[in-house]
Amino acid sequence: MVAQAFKAGLVFRGVLAAFSLSLFIAMMPAAAQDDVWRPLDPENALYLEMERGRVVIELAPDLAPQNVAQLKKLVREGRYENSSFYRVIENFVAQAGLQGRADDIAPVVAEFEWDVGRLDGFSPIETDDPYAPITGFYKGFPLGRDAGMTREWAIHCPAVMAMARGNEAGSATSEFYITIGQAPRHLDRNLTVIGRVLMGMRFIEGAHRGNRDINGGVIADRTLQTPIKSMAIAADLPPGERTRLEVINTSHPRFLAQVEALRNRTGDFWKHRPSGMIDICTVPVSIRPGN
């Protein structure tokens, strides 16, 4: 019944999306239009300085407060200086970390999922997803929910950053990975998502690949590993050295109207109309330069 009611709501919003987006925006008061974009918080902006350029990652302390705190602590201690992406598997993940230099770091608890209602601002997008009865966004992060609307979790879309671990759920220490290629949704609810790449994903995607069938994709030759020169939290850098970005507000009517336009594509190009459903991982969450 929950899924049926939610689907009915999607159909209603699909009708609403038939109106011109430009007319919709023009009718909004100026204050509402100002809410379309939010500035990236320097305290939760992580920079990876690569040989070819900077990678900007938005961290998600709302989703995984203890894991994000652990990563930020290690970054501020300089533990990741001259680290590298040493395990890179085509169409799966690029993994980096301290490579055997983390014996003194205590494991952090698993934060795979949480109770619905802990976060305020979830915007539902779709039902009947293969891995989640309900999908939606929270502050730009794709989330899933169970059919009973009791549990919620982060989704492994491309460009997501998460903590790597061993067999024990609470065994993550310092290793992290970024998803490349298709969305590895089978990892949902099994690893802790801590952020997502906003800019510079091409530098991650360009990392040298390992062989998945040999040592699980670990690149034994360190000269072939893709180096990370340094990592920093934006708030710790002088303002002039920060990359200022704004992220679209995924609970704003403008964004939701864009989603419905994707769901209900029109025009002469389409010879077979889309099904009316939308994959959460194909919805772009726009960014723009900030002030």
Indicate the fold that domain 2-289 takes in CATH.
Cyclophilin (2.40.100)
Q: What is the pLDDT of residues 184-201, one digit of tens each?
A: 999 999 999 999 999 999
Phi, psi of 124 (to 5 degrees): -65, 145
Q: In the predicted model, what is the mean pLDDT of residues 86-108?
A: 93
> Hey, what are 251's tokens?
């609970």
Domain boundaries in the chain? 2-289
Query: Residue 128: which of 273, 2, 34, 228 has the closest Cα?
Result: 2
Can you tell me the distance from the alpha carbon of 130 to that of 5, in angstroms, rounded to the nearest whole number?
A: 19
Q: Tell me, what's the pLDDT at 102?
A: 82
State yes or no: pLDDT of 29 exceeds 80: no
Question: DSSP assignment of 66-122, as one string?
Answer: HHHHHHHHHHHTTTTTTEEEEEE-TTSEEEEE-SS--TTSPPB---SEEETTSSS--
Question: DSSP assignment of 27-47, as one string?
Answer: HS-HHHHHTTEEEPPGGGEEE
Can you tell me the distance from the alpha carbon of 65 to that of 163, in angstroms, rounded to the nearest whole number?
A: 12
Can you tell me the distance from the alpha carbon of 228 to that of 246, in angstroms, rounded to the nearest whole number?
A: 25
Percentage of residues in the chain with pLDDT exceeding 70?
Answer: 88
* pLDDT band at residue 13 using 50, 70 and 90 as cut-offs: very low
If one counts every other C-beta atom within 10 angstroms of the C-beta of residue 202, the result is 12
Q: In the predicted model, what is the mean pLDDT of residues 111-126?
A: 96
Can you tell me the distance from the alpha carbon of 67 to that of 158, in angstroms, rounded to the nearest whole number?
A: 20
Phi, psi of 205 (to 5 degrees): -65, -25
Q: Tell me, what's the pLDDT at 6?
A: 53
Question: DSSP assignment of 10-31, as one string?
Answer: HHHHHHHTTS-HHHHHHHS-HH
Q: What is the pLDDT of residues 239-285, one digit of tens each?
A: 999 999 999 999 999 999 999 999 988 889 988 877 788 999 999 99
